[in-house]
Amino acid sequence: MTNKWSKLSLVILAMLLVLTACGSGAGTGNESASESGGKATGKQVTLTFWHHYSTASPEEKTLTGVLIPKFEAENPGIKVKAVAIPWEELHKKLQIGGSGGDLPDVARLDIIWVPEFQKRGLLQPLDEKFSDFNDIAKGLLEGPLSTAKVGEHYYGLPLNTNTKVLFWNKDMLAQSGIDKAPETAEEFFADLAQIKAKYDKSWGYGEPALQGWNILPWIWSNGGDVLSPDFTTADGFLNSQATIDIVTKLKAAYTSGQLAGFKPGDVPVTEGHAGGSYAMMAEGPWAVAQFQSQFGDFTFEMASFPKGSAGSIQVLGGEDLGIFSKDKQEESWKFVKFMVSEAAQVEMGKIGQIPVNLDAMESNEIKAVAYYAPFLEQLKTAKARPPVDSWPQIDGVLSDTMSSIFMTDKDVKAELDAAVSKIDGLLKLNN
């Protein structure tokens, strides 16, 4: 009898174990969050997100304190580990990581980096990987979206956009006999001379660097360029007469003490504009936030960048989101879509990041940011830097060339011709 009960007990125990497993819904315990519909019934997936928002900045605080918690609440199977890395260090870290395999799942990329990492095969082609790409893309600004396209495919989505406008000190210009911001390049250079005559120890214009971000607006607005329309050569463009003419005028302004800001030891441009060192500068919306937080008593004015023969053409800035992940692509795509959604874009827009989401731009909260207006107007004619993978190296050549032109007696055309030779060499090397 004891033996029979023992066998019966074993059978009952086995049946209970089977029923318990079926009723728990636990499965194998190995299904991913994407396979379980984002519910916390499988293992947790952790995404690594590298970005270059400054630590403790309003952007970083909003990302980590508002957006990521909201995303995680909506996607309980996914956690996001955000890592803040300074801009230049992030670029190098991604370059090194591409060789060593240490890469994030998602990264906030300067728009000029996308072609470089696409060529190395590090970025996922989003329009090929995800069937709802077109549905998401059509809700975003066309210009910023184009910065993520290399060849026939999109390797990212725009996260935010920006450009620069002319900031001008109304009091300094008035004291110099000028009653408005210069509307044309001709007026601009004439104003520099008048300002210098009034303020011998100040400068009419501050420029913090001589890279493409700083120089291209002048070249483009004057009808020049750095590369040909098909991005195959600099010859006939960087050394064109239109480029030579505007660079010569800028050099003359520097030599006459009317322009400064890019040399080590110069007064920082944004702080100098608020302090009366520079009567004018070209900067982005982040300058407004800096004025408001650090120079509350300073009244700043904004206007469109001075028009040249080709119009008022500023440089298009901003960042794209790229997916590097090979094994967490669905989860990464969910995070990217969330970051470009209306709700997330409005949150970032309220603290100075110009949205790329069309619905977000129409929201009352974004329209209430009054200082966006001149930037949105300037964005209508802003141009992106050339989408070539060698642009960082080309930008270095451009910066070195401009430094040589401005700070030596070397011939402008000869220096631009030499730069053309170097840039064409880079283009051939990378093709």
pLDDT tens digits, 290-326: 898 899 999 999 999 999 999 999 999 999 999 999 9
How many beta carbons lie within 10 A of that of residue 227, not counting itself?
21
What pLDDT digit, counting tens, does each position of 352-373 carry? Answer: 899 999 999 999 999 999 899 9
Equal fold, 45-155+318-379 vs 165-316+386-429: yes
What pLDDT digit, counting tens, does each position of 128-178 carry? Answer: 999 999 999 999 999 999 999 999 999 999 999 999 999 999 999 999 999
Higher pLDDT, 377 or 352: 377
The yes-or-no verdict on residue 82 having pLDDT over 70 is: yes
- One CATH from 3.20.20.120, 3.40.30.10, 3.40.190.10, 3.30.2310.20 for 45-155+318-379: 3.40.190.10
What pLDDT digit, counting tens, does each position of 246-281 carry? Answer: 999 999 999 999 999 999 999 999 999 999 999 999
Residue type, 300: F
Q: Give residue 431's pLDDT band: very low, low, confident or very high (50, 70, 90).
A: low
Residue type, 263: K
Share of the chain above pLDDT 90, in %: 84
Identify the DSSP state of 113.
Answer: G
Q: Which CATH superfamily hosts domain 165-316+386-429?
A: Periplasmic binding protein-like II (3.40.190.10)
- Rounded to an integer, what distance in angstroms lies between the CA atom of residue 204 and that of residue 221? 19
φ, ψ of residue 150 in degrees (nearest 5):
-125, 120
Q: Which of 112, 44, 29, 131 is nearest to 80 (CA)?
A: 44
What pLDDT digit, counting tens, does each position of 188-244 carry? Answer: 999 999 999 999 999 999 999 999 999 999 999 999 999 999 999 999 999 999 999
Strands 203-206 and 278-283: parallel
Average pLDDT taken over every residue of the chain: 90
Output the pLDDT for position 260: 98
The terminus-to-terminus CA distance of the chain in angstroms comes to 86
- Rounded to an integer, what distance in angstroms lies between the CA atom of residue 321 and that of residue 343? 17
The yes-or-no verdict on residue 28 having pLDDT over 80 is: no
Output the pLDDT for position 292: 87
The yes-or-no verdict on residue 13 having pLDDT over 50 is: no
Domain chopping of the chain, boundaries: 45-155+318-379, 165-316+386-429
The yes-or-no verdict on residue 6 having pLDDT over 70 is: no
Output the pLDDT for position 43: 82
Average of per-residue pLDDT across 41-69: 92
What pLDDT digit, counting tens, does each position of 106-136 carry? Answer: 999 999 999 999 999 999 999 999 999 999 9
